[in-house]
Structure 1
Amino acid sequence: MKRFKLLHSVLLATLASSCLLNIAHADDALKMELTANQISKNADGKTVYSPVRTAPAGTVIQYKATYTNTINSDINDLMVTLPIPANMTFTGDASPASAQASIDGKNYADMPLMRKVDGKMVKIPYSEYRTLRWNIKLLPAKKSAAVALNTVVNK
């Protein structure tokens, strides 16, 4: 069974995650914490999130980034981006659902992404999604906001 090293992906996702702040705010105005959790069901059928470093193919992993405003004023129109790690496939589940997606990391659109094939508009498979981004309209002073995406470890 092929195992994927998630710690490496978490570190890459942390480095690749970008935040575009209003020009008036300093670089240290925002703190980001990224976690990787395996998603499973317990005996009662409730969803359980467990920290994970490695996982076999087929495992569902949620990457969650929590952004904390560390200054004493609000941050408006904060754009945050999370890459989908290599060897992972996006499941289509994102929180908040207002995320936009990209297959190239440059051009974003509302989900599901579409393209023209033989004159017809068709959905782009989730396996081609590479990055998601969110616009956090308002992050109040000293408060946090979280975004998350679910992936599956490729076979």
Structure 2
Amino acid sequence: MKRFKLVPNILLAALASTCVLGTAHADDTLKMDLTANQVIKNAEGKTVYSPVRTAPKGTVIQYKATYTNTINKDINDLMVALPIPTNMVFTGDAMPASAQASTDGQNYADMPLMRKVNGKVVKVPFSEYRSLRWNIKLLPAMKSATVSLNTVVN
């Protein structure tokens, strides 16, 4: 069985560089906590999450980023993005569902992404999604907001 090592710290570094504030803020204004968890259905059919560092092909992994406003002032129009690791395929599950997607990490559009093929408009396969982003309209002072996406080890 092939195993892939998940390296959340590398993803964390990439995420830190993709977080854009609507207005200029000090570097310590926003704290981000990233977790990688295996998505498991238990015997009762409920979804449970288990921290994971390595996983075999076909395992569903959820990346969840919690952004905390560490100052006593609201942050408006906070744009945050989560890149999809290269050895993973997006499942189509994102929270909140208002996420936009990108195939290049620069140009984003509402999901599902569409394109023209032979004159017909078709959905872009999830395997081509490279990043998701969310606009957190308001992050109140000293509060947190969480975004997540599910992937499958490829």
Fold match (TM-score > 0.5): yes
Query: Aligned runs of 1:118-133 on 2, under 5 Å?
Result: 118-133=118-133
- Whether 2:36 is the aligned partner of 1:15: answer no
Deviation at 1:41, TM superposition (A): 1.0
Instruction: Verify the 8 A CA contact 2:22 2:79 in the aligned structure 1.
Output: no
The residue identity in structure 1 corresponding to 2:13 is L
Shift of 1:24: 3.7
**Shift of residue 99 of structure 1?**
0.2
1:3-152 alignment to 2 at 5 Å? 3-6=3-6, 8=7, 10-17=8-15, 18-152=18-152
In the TM superposition, residue 151 of structure 1 has moved relative to its aligned partner by 0.1
Following the alignment from structure 1 to structure 2, what is the Cα–Cα distance between the partners of residues 49 and 28?
29
Identity across the alignment (%): 78
Contact 2:37/2:62, CA 8 A, preserved across alignment: yes
Aligned-pair CA distance for 1:22: 3.0
* Partner-residue secondary structure (3-state), 1:79: strand
Amino acid corresponding to residue 152 of structure 1 in structure 2? V
Q: Distance in 2 between matches of 1:65 and 1:131?
A: 13
Secondary structure of the structure 2 residue equivalent to 1:20: coil
Large movers: runs of 4+ above 6 Å: none
Q: CA contact under 8 A between 2:115 and 2:124: conserved in structure 1?
A: yes
Give the Cα–Cα distance (whole angstroms) in 2 for the partners of residues 112 and 55 of structure 1: 27
Query: What is the count of residue pairs matched by the alignment?
Result: 152
Deviation at 1:23, TM superposition (A): 2.6
**Counterpart Cα distance in 1 of 2:83 and 2:5:** 16
Q: Partner letter of residue 114 of structure 1?
A: M
Question: Helix, strand or coil: the match of 2:104?
Answer: coil
1:51-80 CA distances to partner (integer Å, 9 max, x unpaired)? 000000000000000000000000000000
| CA apart distance, 1:109 | 0.2
Partners of 2:110 and 2:39 in 1: CA distance: 25
Point out where structure 2 has 5 or more consecutive residues left out of the alignment.
Answer: none
TM-score (norm 1): 0.96
TM-score normalised according to structure 2 size: 0.97
SS at match of 1:28: coil
Uncovered stretches (5+) of structure 1, i.e. residues with no partner = none
Point out the more displaced range, 15-24 or 53-62.
15-24
CA RMSD of the aligned region, Å?
A: 0.8
